[in-house]
Structure 1
Amino acid sequence: MKNQLSRREALSHICTLTSAVALSASELMANNQQTMMLREIPSSKEKLPLVGLGSWIQFDVGKSDDERQGLVQVLKSMNSLGGKLIDSSPMYGRAEEVIGDLTAGSGNADKFFYATKVWTTGKQAGIDQMNESFRKMKRKKMDLMQIHNLQDWQTHIKTLKDWKEQGKIRYVGITHYAVSAHEELERIVKSGAVDFVQFNYSIKVRNAEKSLLKAAKDHGVAVIINEPFDSGNLFKLIKGKSLPAWAADYEINSWARFFLKYILANQAVNCVIPGTSDEKHLIDNLGAGFGKLPDEAGIAKMARFIESI
């Protein structure tokens, strides 16, 4: 994955932040008087909350309390607001270990939905790496094991199918972060080989709308969206700009929710996973999973607005 403008850096230049960002988890719950929206995983009918958490960069920290305290609060608020899915990978440095330590110490370890990946070549190397992920994340069973960036996927998919049958993992997935991989992801989706597919999609990078999202829905494959803010570029794009007044019609009162609700309005999407180590940003992100979602007219209006900037 690429490291461009971070959300934290972009927000430091934006003067149009709303009060929604400053809400506490309890205030968000009180204001909405409801739980986060859920969507069914097609292969099982299990329901998954619409907004989860990515761990790339943000969870790659050391062992000190100073480095980890912010993440403790992120996970606490995520749990209280009904968020479940935490996505990681061996590629993300110490993220898996940090997730394992913090969730184990939270008292709520079994309330999360754990997703990680295999990111290597060769059958035994993949098995060894995945077993290490289990150890780091302190899991006896992984909710979702994904093949990272399609790496040696024909080899790993066989192991994952075996592990699913043995009950070691619950779901099989495959991922990528680049538009160039969408065609191959679509072929795999149509083959019936996976329960989940994860890919990049945002209001500015809309290639997935051509056919990948529809293919996933038509073939009963759950969708996780990465890069929902286009590596922070969306916040740079709207620097100094106010939300359009009509955004309130869709219960949107921050730019993060504008971008996330555009994605979540597509019924093929099961979960979007913006990454953050900031509790206020986490609460703002999760807020996109509450309240009204844009209808078709709203989606079109949102896209036209961003295209006009």
Structure 2
Amino acid sequence: MQYRKDRYGEPISLLGYGCMRFTKNGNSIDLDKAERELMLAIKSGVNYLDTAYIYPGSEVAVGEILHRNHCREEIRLATKLPQYYIKSGAAIEKYFNEQLTRLQTDYIDYYLMHMLTDVAAWEKLKKLGIEAWITQKKKEGKIRNIGFSFHGNTEMFIQILDAYDWDFCQIQYNYMDEHTQAGRTGLQEAAKRGIPVIIMEPLRGGKLVDLLPEKAKKRIAEDPKKRTPAELAFRWLWEQPEVTCVLSGMNSEEMIRENVRIASEVQTGEFTEEDFSLIEAVKKDIQDTLKVGCTGCGYCMPCPKGIDIPAAFRCYNHMYTEKKGAGRHEYLQTVCLQKDFRPVSACVECGKCESHCPQHLAIRQKLKEADGKLLPFYYKIGLKVVKKLGLFW
């Protein structure tokens, strides 16, 4: 296993263990199987474990496995405050203490504000005293590093980066999200500030393996280096020195051994022109299945009515390149939960976007097509409930 450094020089394994996808028997985690797999990873050098309050059963399972095997000090434990549930300063303390109990520990190595989508969510926490609370917990040694996980656009990510003296952050990043969400720009901006970056969804929940177009699968299979789709995606990430650790939701011993092998062999700068060309060709194969040929360049922005046009098209495409529910969930999570969200239906067909589009897309027509697809009525009802309860702002 190879390691990169956190902000304070502590080693973090290139490969991290994402503990959201433990195998389940019915509604419960198969604890014995999870223990075998997690301990294989730890013994193979994986030292960064990622869980969260809202991952069903995960914190309890991780805590029990570490307790059984007396290896808490060997690993770096990361979990997340469910900031969207927080209504008071007392609630912050309540959730944190519950997490310590679940995890059978008295400190957290890497504590994240979970799923910040908008700087307004951080401002809400500040009003509730989160900064003083963090300072106290770090002083007590109960939190060693403070960070946030993010779903949103690049501009918002940079605003959040600059809103606090963060020790680390976590973003969704893979070769298909190179220029969406925080993206490569966000990754590099974090690096400029000396903030380590943990990567989630390196395979888009397996979609860059299982749901690749047949043409892309064939292209990868014919590559002389004989890398699997997963290996190609991981190596593309680790090629970038700004990437500190890549999380993988491993749920088989075979998967763990393979990912550990790659993380032990990979070297920054090993990608050749042919490798980058292969990635671009695979991306094109995926993009050829898209509903809208939007590259996410952002020339259409800002929309006078506040619609996030690139995000809408990205998620609309996801509905057809992956699954409808996946695209809708992406739209809800990365766009709709921002405080200043404006629905696609707000378009007044002014045409300003089309006059700046390098791809000469019929944006107004495509927005009409996307309207209703992205937010069916039951999503709209759920969104109204979330906003009424003020869960994110």
Tell me the equivalent position of 1:54. 18
Tell me the equivalent position of 1:44. 8
- AA at the equivalent of 1:237: L
In structure 2, the residue corresponding to 1:91 is in which secondary structure?
Answer: coil
Shift of 1:205: 1.5
Shift of 1:276: 2.3
Residues in 2 aligned to 1:126 and 1:60: alpha-carbon distance in whole angstroms: 29
Tell me the equivalent position of 2:105. 139
Shift of 1:213: 0.8
String of CA shifts for 1:61-103, please: whole Å, max 9, x gaps: 6898x92222111112111210011101111011000000011
Tell me the equivalent position of 2:66. 103
Tell me the equivalent position of 2:167. 195
- AA at the equivalent of 2:2: M
Tell me the equivalent position of 2:212. 237
In structure 2, the residue corresponding to 1:173 is in which secondary structure?
Answer: strand
Alignment of 1:85-96 (within 5 A): 85-96=48-59
In structure 2, the residue corresponding to 1:267 is in which secondary structure?
Answer: coil
Alignment of 1:34-183 (within 5 A): 36-41=1-6, 43-58=7-22, 67-119=30-82, 120-121=85-86, 122-150=88-116, 152-154=121-123, 155=125, 156-176=130-150, 178=151, 180-183=152-155
String of CA shifts for 1:273-293, please: whole Å, max 9, x gaps: 111222211222222211133
The alignment yields a C-alpha RMSD, in angstroms, of 2.5
| Highest RCO, 1 vs 2 (Cα 8 Å, sep ≥ 6) | 1
TM superposition score normalised by structure 1: 0.78
Q: Which moved more, 1:270-279 or 1:297-306?
A: 297-306
Q: Which moved more, 1:116-125 or 1:207-216?
A: 207-216
Shift of 1:308: 3.6
Residues in 1 aligned to 2:23 and 2:148: alpha-carbon distance in whole angstroms: 21
> Cα gap change, 1:198/1:299 in structure 2, threshold over 3 Å: closer, same or farther?
farther
Shift of 1:123: 2.0
Aligned-residue sequence identity (percent) comes to: 21
Q: Does the 8 Å CA contact 1:247/1:258 hold for their aligned counterparts?
A: no
Q: Which moved more, 1:233-242 or 1:132-141?
A: 233-242
- AA at the equivalent of 2:41: M
Residues in 1 aligned to 2:224 and 2:113: alpha-carbon distance in whole angstroms: 37
> Cα gap change, 1:297/1:46 in structure 2, threshold over 3 Å: closer, same or farther?
farther
Residues in 1 aligned to 2:219 and 2:133: alpha-carbon distance in whole angstroms: 49
Of 271, 290, 294, 1:295 maps to 271
String of CA shifts for 1:168-218, please: whole Å, max 9, x gaps: 111001002x3x244322222234521111010111121244410111110
In structure 1, the residue corresponding to 2:218 is in which secondary structure?
Answer: coil
- AA at the equivalent of 1:199: I
Q: Does the 8 Å CA contact 1:243/1:254 hold for their aligned counterparts?
A: yes
Residues in 1 aligned to 2:153 and 2:30: alpha-carbon distance in whole angstroms: 35
Residues in 2 aligned to 1:117 and 1:71: alpha-carbon distance in whole angstroms: 20
Of 281, 293, 296, 1:305 maps to 281
Residues in 1 aligned to 2:224 and 2:132: alpha-carbon distance in whole angstroms: 46
Shift of 1:157: 4.4
Q: Does the 8 Å CA contact 1:190/1:219 hold for their aligned counterparts?
A: no
Tell me the equivalent position of 1:259. 233
Residues in 2 aligned to 1:303 and 1:283: alpha-carbon distance in whole angstroms: 24
Q: Does the 8 Å CA contact 1:62/1:68 hold for their aligned counterparts?
A: no
Q: Does the 8 Å CA contact 2:22/2:30 hold for their aligned counterparts?
A: no
In structure 2, the residue corresponding to 1:237 is in which secondary structure?
Answer: coil
Tell me the equivalent position of 1:17. none
> Cα gap change, 1:233/1:125 in structure 2, threshold over 3 Å: closer, same or farther?
same
